[in-house]
């Protein structure tokens, strides 16, 4: 088995990834006349020196060629729309081999922990994890508790369980939501063990809230963030990026970092 190259996604042991798979997950409502063009968001990723760009394969195929040398690519191998109701299942739509031919430095896959389709996602993820590691690339698992069995998807014990499952299944990175329980989240990070925990951004909120969330996540021991809407839906995507970098890479407090966003 090849040695998994995870270092290329880090800056001084931490990472900041930009995600743009929301067109599939949520639909065009997340975008405006500028951000609907993938190149607009890719330019933010380059100018902001993100450690990686998360895309579905269709966007990578048609837009990533000119960015190939500039930023590591992470291909999300599964996805779903928000049109289908009921138990959540995110099906695989791209192979590891195809992702690698597109230049992927890592691959990602969402598991809805607690869904009645959980076993199916474990199986798909198991195959992906083995194949990706054969090629020597890391795997990011979006570990999202969701389904009728989950009463509170942000419950600390549930998040801790989801993080542990990610470790047990072989993920190198576990991407999950933050639940504003700083002390409890330290346990969540511990449960992820040697898998690196990355916090997802979520719906757009104020700069203050976003930076506070990032700060708390880092205080809890997270290895970084994988964010989307809070950056590219912002009127000041590069300024919020710079503020976020101060928090993630330099441990600056939110009230210090926010000064870098001009009024
Ligand atoms: P955001 O920072 O915009 O929330 O993006 C992170 C992410 O994990 C995306 O990769 C994905 O499209 C989205 O969140 C899914 O979130 P949800 O399933 O909660 O709608």
pLDDT surpasses 90 at 263: no
**What is the average pLDDT across 115-135?**
98
Ligand 1 atom index nearest CA of 146? 18
Q: What is the pLDDT of residues 142-164, one digit of tens each?
A: 999 999 999 999 999 999 999 99
The reply to whether 144 belongs to the active site is yes
pLDDT surpasses 60 at 1: no
Print the SS3 string covering 183-244.
HHHHHHHHHCCCCEEEEECCCCCCHHHHHHHHHHHHHCCCCEEEECHHHHCCCCHHHHHHHH
The reply to whether 135 belongs to the active site is no
Ligand 1 atom index nearest CA of 76? 10
Q: How far is the CA of 200 from the centre of ligand 1 (A)?
A: 7
Average pLDDT across the chain, whole number? 96
> pLDDT at position 78, please?
98
- What's the count of helices (H) and strands (E) in the chain, helices before strands? 11, 10
Rounded Cα distance between 136 and 105, Å, is: 9
Ligand 1 atom index nearest CA of 30? 3
Model confidence at 95, pLDDT cuts 50, 70, 90, reads: very high
**What is the average pLDDT across 235-248?**
98
Q: How far is the CA of 86 from the centre of ligand 1 (A)?
A: 19
Of 19, 80, 197, 229, the one to substitute when testing ligand 1's pocket (max ligand atoms within 8 A of C-beta) is 19
Please name the residue whose Cα sits nearest to atom 15 of ligand 1. 25
> pLDDT at position 3, please?
65
Model confidence at 260, pLDDT cuts 50, 70, 90, reads: confident
pLDDT surpasses 70 at 7: yes
pTM of the model: 0.97
Please tell me which residue in 50, 89, 112, 144 is annotated as part of the active site: 144
Q: What is the pLDDT of residues 9-44, one digit of tens each?
A: 999 999 999 999 999 999 999 999 999 999 999 999
CB-defined site of ligand 1, < 6 Å: 19, 21-22, 25-26, 54, 142, 200-202, 227-230
Model confidence at 185, pLDDT cuts 50, 70, 90, reads: very high
Please name the residue whose Cα sits nearest to atom 7 of ligand 1. 200
Ligand 1 atom index nearest CA of 22? 12
């Amino acid at each position: 088995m090849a040695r998994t190259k995870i270092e290329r996604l880090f800056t001084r042991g931490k990472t900041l990834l930009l995600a743009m798979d929301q067109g599939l997950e949520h639909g065009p409502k997340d975008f405006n006349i500028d951000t609907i063009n993938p190149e607009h968001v890719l330019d933010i990723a380059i100018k902001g020196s993100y450690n990686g760009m998360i895309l579905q394969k269709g966007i990578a195929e048609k837009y990533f060629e000119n960015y190939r040398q500039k930023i590591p690519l992470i291909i999300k191998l599964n996805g779903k729309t928000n049109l289908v109701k009921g138990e959540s299942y995110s099906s695989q739509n791209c192979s590891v081999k195809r992702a690698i031919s597109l230049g992927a430095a890592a691959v990602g896959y969402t598991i809805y922990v607690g869904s009645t389709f959980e076993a199916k996602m474990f199986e798909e993820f198991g195959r992906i994890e083995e194949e990706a590691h054969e090629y020597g690339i890391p795997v990011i698992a979006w570990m999202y508790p969701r389904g009728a069995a989950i009463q509170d998807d942000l419950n600390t014990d549930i998040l801790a369980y989801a993080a542990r499952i990610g470790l047990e299944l072989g993920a190198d990175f576990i991407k999950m939501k933050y639940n504003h329980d700083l002390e409890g989240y330290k346990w969540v990070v511990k449960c992820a063990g040697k898998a690196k925990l990355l916090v997802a951004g979520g719906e757009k909120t104020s700069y203050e809230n976003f930076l506070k969330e990032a700060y708390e996540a880092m205080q809890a021991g997270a290895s970084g963030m994988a964010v989307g809407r809070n950056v590219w839906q912002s009127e000041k995507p590069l300024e919020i990026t710079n503020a976020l970098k101060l928090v993630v890479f330099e441990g600056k407090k939110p009230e210090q970092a926010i000064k870098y966003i001009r009024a």
